[in-house]
Amino acid sequence: MPFLKDFIINRDTKIKLWEVNLGELDYQGLDEYDLRLIKSKKNKLAKEQFLAVRKILKLENPSYKIRYNESGKPSINSDLNISISHSNFMAAVVLSGYAKTGIDIELKESKVISIQDKFLNESEKLRTKYKSDIVYLTKIWTAKESIYKALGIKGISFSDNIIIKKISNNKGEGSYLKGKEKIKFNLIFFSIDDYILCYAQSNN
């Protein structure tokens, strides 16, 4: 079955997962806005991920429509806030009543070791025992991505502005810092097969 699972975070927040199968979904039901977007996608997998997100929403509420602002942050025609992520053959959507929520899902791959300097800050690099830990580094990456999506602000530096202070088992803490501004986030992690998913919610 392509639809995998719901994760109920609280009474106002749920995550929905979809397993992507190439050729399974079609363009039926897409409006002109979505048809224009999907035609700009470069490959079959990107198109299928796009369709999977729309299918998730259709199952949740057939009237939901996604729109994007100038920063690329999605919204839907609802009081709920939405964040979207997809990686390889997995798509994820979070729907929440909280204003600053974000989600990211990533396939666990060894390449995260070679790119860690692009997203780790100096304090995170001091945790040397984790330098080659693919799971831990993927958790940090997904945490920063989910916080970035929750904020919806352009020009954020993952290494300078987003700090992951703590990860313990399936929970963590992070912050967005810029000048005197500080926004704290609670993090929840899920392991699904070969993927790591992180949900971030501001506790400010």
Q: Helix axis angle, 44-60 relative to 32-39, nearest 10°?
A: 160
pLDDT given at position 196: 97
Measured CA to CA, the distance from residue 104 to residue 86 in angstroms comes to 7
Measured CA to CA, the distance from residue 202 to residue 15 in angstroms comes to 16
pLDDT given at position 2: 63
Closest CA to 99 of 81, 77, 72, 85: 81
* Both structure tokens of 179: 């000048």
**What residues of the chain score a pLDDT lower than 70?**
1-3, 128-129, 204
Contact 199, 94 (CB under 8 A): yes
The DSSP result for 120-156, as a single string, is --HHHHT-GGGTT-HHHHHHHHHHHHHHHHHHT-TT-
24-75 pLDDT, tens per residue?
889 988 999 999 999 999 899 999 999 999 999 999 999 999 999 988 899 9
Q: Taking the model in full, what pTM does it have?
A: 0.93
pLDDT given at position 128: 63
